Structure 1
Amino acid sequence: MNLLEDIMVIQAKISGAEAVKLYDIKMENAAIIRKAARDIMVSGNNLEMFGFTDSKYYKLIRNLIEEFRILFVDWVAKFNPKHFIVDEWGLFNPPGISTDYVQRDDEFNFLDEDEDDEF
């Protein structure tokens, strides 16, 4: 069971998403947070399956994850989609932006120009 690992991942990825300006990086962190939270949700079943006597208290954790989910949805909605670099894998592009939006060379030029900018 990776309960503590998932909790640490959530904390680290929230910090990581807050530390950057780029939409695609924020969304990537958000996806990792979502996965870790879902893993926490289902890990309660493992406790019951392995016969832990206090697994009934896991419902508290599930309730807290649900409260977190509601806050998470609002947080993600505030990500600014105007600050992005095209995700060549197509997973974390802002709505309406495809992988062929910017030529590869233009993307790297954009990165070079912003190298000194603080995020």
Structure 2
Amino acid sequence: MFEDDDDQLGKSHEEIEKMPLYKKGWHIMELADKIAELVTDEEYSDLGESELGMLKSQTEFLCADAMLICPKIAGAEGGDLYGIRMENAAIIRKAAREVMTGCTGLKMWGFKQTEYLELLRNEVEEFRVLFAE
């Protein structure tokens, strides 16, 4: 019943890493991480402690949402089971939407380098097109 049969498995890890959708998800994660690194105490010394805390929390949420994308793509492609693919597709779609919402939250909490947020939004939009295909 639970035999290891490599012929029935989905794509290998190497194949998944070469997928354009996976690469775009990885790029979104890296960009979110770089945005989070920009929020330092020195750069945002003009904000109060509470506002800075909220800004940092927002970057953590942004990174967490961005980090969900690649593992869920790998899970969907690796198992090649319809139910898992559909479940992961819903999680991926929600995570990408939350990244977009996170950009708005960062702007609301006073993130100064808004050009990076636009860059991230553009990446998510490109991801959305790849995801739809």
Return the TM-score normalized by structure 2: 0.53
Size of the aligned set, in residue pairs, is 74
Flag as ranges the 4+ runs of structure 1 deviating above 3 A. none
Aligned to 2:107: 48
Q: Give a deviation string over 1:50-105, Cα, whole Å, max 9, x none.
A: 1111123201111110100011011xxxxxxxxxxxxxxxxxxxxxxxxxxxxxxx
What's the offset of the Cα at 1:15? 0.6
The 5 Å alignment of 1:73-84 reads: 73-74=132-133
In 1, the alpha carbon distance for the partners of 2:77 and 2:91 equals 14
**Higher Rg of the two aligned structures:** 1
The 5 Å alignment of 1:1-119 reads: 1=58, 2-74=61-133
In 1, the alpha carbon distance for the partners of 2:65 and 2:102 equals 10
Structure (1/2) with the larger helix percentage: 2
In 2, the alpha carbon distance for the partners of 1:15 and 1:73 equals 16
In 1, the alpha carbon distance for the partners of 2:106 and 2:87 equals 29
Two-structure CA RMSD over aligned residues (Å): 1.0
In 2, the alpha carbon distance for the partners of 1:52 and 1:38 equals 19
Aligned to 2:45: none
Q: Which runs of 5+ in 2 are unaligned?
A: 1-57
